[in-house]
Amino acid sequence: MLESPTSLIKPPKLGDSQADLMNAVQAALPSGVILLSPVEKGDASPFHLIDLDQDKKDEAVIFYYDAIKNTGIQGLIFIKINGIWHLDQTFSGLGIELYDLQFADVTGDGRLEIIAGYANGVLEKGLNIYEWQEGNIETLFDTAYSKFVVDDLNQDGLNEITILLVNRGVSAAVTTHLYKQNEFIALDDMLLDEFGSYENVTSGFVTNERRGLVLDIQVGAHAAYTEVLLLENNQLQKASDEMENLTWKDYPVHSEDTDLDGIIEIGKLIPPVGFENESYATTPYITGYYQWIGNDELKLKLQRFYEYQKGFYFEFPKEWNSLLTIERSDNEQEISFVTILGGDLVFDVISIPVEEWESNENMFELGRNNKYVFATSVVNSELNMYFHLL
């Protein structure tokens, strides 16, 4: 059997200032346990220093799994007293992997709660919310989940927690919960496409003024779209009935704030001019990122060309939008950006295996990874900055 990713994680080497924390943790743990890091975040460190009670002093939160006793995940909270770490509280969760972990104020009391998602297999995940005060810890909420976000979607100054729960081919629903009168209540829920694979769920500003929930959904081998949900008068609603048609694409693209303006953009795949009749597999798509500007309209904000296999992307300067297309060499070693009218070369990226690279005056090195040196034959230092390694 393959080992889980978390079973391969080893405690990091801590600096001298944190060596006492490591000693305190080792003294509190049973022998042979596995320290856990959140799988979804890819964070290699199982040590979480966070000011839970907002007193300007960090607490330490650690999770572990005892594969011998198989008692489920255990959590530990350490506090520092007179410069020495002490175990304050322990708590439990069902599962063998720590899948998600966030610290956020979801009760409105100014303190941070521990929001932990546990996995007991690929499709079985449970979410727990813990409230800690020195000397006491309480489980406020637990539910099955597929993905979740914490955000103030209705912008009333209080965070909600929104849960997506998918049973592929049977049901899919999103529910927004608010902590009120010492319990989490469901403000509203919405049924979604039960046949969709929800590749990415995020939240934030979706216009200059509105926050929303953004879901990137794959519905077939060559079909995907993005849905945007708003919380209006504590009711979930689609930002546009036409959003599915507006955002339809051949493959899913993760929505994100690509231009760092504070607003989430929606990704779409654009076949370059000249590739309209190419197969899905051989089309060198340009990825366009669009902002929803209300009603049934999207505005193009920027474009990128991704070369995932080789490990780079090139972001188009804004003045390039809709003016260029792509050419590539037969061996796909060279990607060229050329004008649609005239086919004039504007920029190129040449991927050369590291062992074959020989610097010469006809090419400028843009960057390299462990497999390739990336170079250009175009002398234009202003364009070099648009090249990025993945």
Using 50, 70 and 90 to split pLDDT, how confident is the model at 390? very high
Choose the final residue of a domain: 143, 164, 195: 143
- Per-residue confidence (pLDDT) for residue 16, from 0 to 100: 53
Residue 210 lies in a domain: no
3: pLDDT strictly greater than 50: no
78-88 pLDDT, tens digit per residue, is 999 999 999 99
Residue 263 lies in a domain: no
Distance CA 363, CA 352 (A): 11
Residue 276 lies in a domain: no
Other Cβ atoms within 10 Å of 36 Cβ, number: 26
157: pLDDT strictly greater than 70: yes
6: pLDDT strictly greater than 50: no
What number is the average pLDDT over the span 220-249?
95
15: pLDDT strictly greater than 60: no
Using 50, 70 and 90 to split pLDDT, how confident is the model at 14? low
Choose the final residue of a domain: 91, 124, 143: 143
- Per-residue confidence (pLDDT) for residue 10, from 0 to 100: 45
Residue 289 lies in a domain: no
Structural domain total, the chain: 2
- Per-residue confidence (pLDDT) for residue 360, from 0 to 100: 75
280: pLDDT strictly greater than 80: yes
What number is the average pLDDT over the span 185-200?
96
Cα torsion for 171, 176, 181, 182, to the nearest 10°?
A: 70
* Nearest partner of 207 among 267, 293, 268, 266, judged by Cα: 293
17: pLDDT strictly greater than 80: no
Its pTM stands at 0.88
What 3 state SS string does the chain have? Answer: CCCCHHHHCCCCCCCHHHHHHHHHHHHHCCCCCEEECCCCCCCCCCCEEECCCCCCCCEEEEEEECCCCCCCEEEEEEEEECCEEEEEEEEEECCCEEEEEEEECCCCCCCCEEEEEEECCCCCEEEEEEEEECCEEEEEEEEECCEEEEECCCCCCCCEEEEEEEECCCEEEEEEEEEECCEEEEEEEEECCCCCEEEEEEEEECCCCCEEEEEEEEEECCEEEEEEEEEECCEEEECCCCHHHHCCECCCCCCECCCCCCECEEEEEECCCCCCCCCCCCCCCEEEEEEECCCCCEEEEEEEEEECCCCEEEECCHHHCCCEEEEECCCCCEEEEEECCCCCEEEEEEEEEHHHCCCCCCCEEEEECCCEEEEECCCCHHHHCCEEEC
Residue 258 lies in a domain: no
Query: Domain range spanning residue 41?
Result: 1-105+112-143
Residue 259 lies in a domain: no
What number is the average pLDDT over the span 208-222?
94
- Per-residue confidence (pLDDT) for residue 1, from 0 to 100: 34
Whole-number percent of the chain with pLDDT over 90: 76
Residue 273 lies in a domain: no
Using 50, 70 and 90 to split pLDDT, how confident is the model at 5? very low
What number is the average pLDDT over the span 40-51?
82
- Per-residue confidence (pLDDT) for residue 318, from 0 to 100: 87
